[in-house]
Amino acid sequence: MSNHVNHLLAQWLPLKDKHKWVLGFIFKTEGSCYRKAGAMMLFSDAGHQLGILSGGCLESDIVKKAQRVMTDGVSRTAVYDDEDEEDIAFKLGVGCGGVVHLALVPVSKDNNYLSLDEVSQTLSKGHVCEWNVAVDGSEGACKVLEDNAGSPRKAVLDTLGGKRSLSVLMMPPIHILVVGGGYDATFMTKLASSQGYLVSLWDPRPAQARVEHFPEVNYLIDDPTTEGVRLHLNEHNIQAAVLMSHHREIDAKALQLLSMQSLTYTAMLGPVHRKQEIMDLAGLSDTNFTQYFASPAGFDIGGELPEHIALSVIAQCHAVFHTKPTHLKR
């Protein structure tokens, strides 16, 4: 299961009234830390631990503190300092060298679930939102933003009237369309899903894209026409696509459609000469793609197996969405 906040909240939402819950969230960091401000984790009195706040080194102590919050309903803050020999982080041998400021607060109907239910519903619809939460756990708010409101940014800690609050930009999971349902596509869909992506799969050939081979896929498009794909694209907030049907006409038709969608990331498997063949067949050129278009797809990581190709493509896709350098040799 992915640790993306959308998946974390999707697990919590149907259980929010069945157990006592405590939210742990990092509201400030200093120096090198495994997770940054805005990272969250949910704990229940039934033993649920959803999410991650460190590399696993602090969770045992955090759980104890969360249990105290469940018992008395009083919010708490904690500081983990890896440089302080008297601090639990030092004694646990964390070794990151930073300082983590953590809040542990109740989540219930009494504080409107800190608006986490609204955040969950917003992200599940593919929308961006800004979540604002008081460090003392007294309130939370969710503001829906335009889908293109910006790329991921750092959380902001503010103090107003002596009250601290954290503002976190919440991005929905990346939704990727995979064109081609052959054996090698199983590695692509599995890796994308494990990264928290939503995955749609299309292949017009009846023998391909069999549901039993792609259990992790969120949407299996059963319409064999590109019109069916277009309708699916319009219905869902798909932001990325990879073409790997190994069939010239299928890739060309899909490329024609995708050239009109302005996706953030589009990639097509195959060598440079094949790219030109497909582009000519589709009547397209690089200028038809206003955002990142990669063909050959993926970073050059020195592998040739299906799992290597999947890794190189998903890594490149992730880099594009998180504004990291994407000019590495392909």
Rounded Cα distance, 267 and 127, in Å: 23
What pLDDT score does 255 carry? 96
DSSP H helices, 195-305, are: 226-235, 248-258, 272-282
Place of tokens 């397209």: 284
Q: Which of 107, 125, 143 is the last residue of a domain?
A: 125
Query: Same structural domain for residues 203 and 103?
Result: no
3-state secondary structure 147-173: CCCCCCCCCEEEEECCEEEEEEEECCC
In a domain, 187, yes or no: yes
- pLDDT greater than 70 at residue 194: yes
How much of the chain exceeds pLDDT 70, in percent? 91
- The answer on 297 and 183 residing in a single domain is yes
- Phi first, then psi: give them for residue 19, nearest 5 degrees: -140, 165
Which of the pair, 59 or 39, is modelled with greater confidence?
39
CB 196 within 8 A of CB 216: no
- Segment (H or E) for 129: strand 128-134
Can you give the pLDDT at residue 126?
A: 86
Tell me the average pLDDT across 55-66: 87
- Residue 252 has which token pair? 């060309």
Average pLDDT of the residues in 86-95: 44
Q: Is 15 inside a domain boundary?
A: yes
Q: Which domain holds residue 241?
A: 175-321
Diameter of the chain measured on Cα atoms: 68
In a domain, 67, yes or no: yes
Q: Are 201 and 121 within one domain?
A: no
Confidence of residue 327 (pLDDT cuts 50, 70, 90): low
- Tens digit of each residue's pLDDT (9 = 90 or more) over 280-319: 999 999 889 989 999 999 999 988 899 999 999 999 999 9
Q: How many domains, in total, are found in the chain?
A: 2
In this predicted structure, which of 135-139, 141-145, 224-228, 287-291 has the lowest mean pLDDT?
287-291
Q: Indicate whether 210 and 285 sit together in one domain.
A: yes
The verdict on 293 and 187 lying in the same domain is yes
- Residue 284's identity, in one-letter code, is L
Say if CB 241 and CB 201 are below 8 A apart.
Answer: no
Nearest to 7 by CA among 119, 99, 84, 96: 119
- Show which of 125, 151, 186 is a domain's final residue: 125
- pLDDT of amino acid 4: 87
Residues 68-80 have a mean pLDDT of 94
Q: Are residues 305 and 223 in the same domain?
A: yes
7 phi and psi angles, rounded to 5 deg: -75, -40
Does the model's pTM come out above 0.85? no
Q: List own/partner pairs for 228-235 with CB under 8 A and 24 or more apart.
A: 228/202, 229/177, 229/202, 229/254, 229/257, 230/257, 232/177, 232/200, 232/202, 233/177, 233/257, 233/261
Alpha-carbon distance of 138 to 22, in angstroms, equals 13
Mean pLDDT for 230-258 is: 95
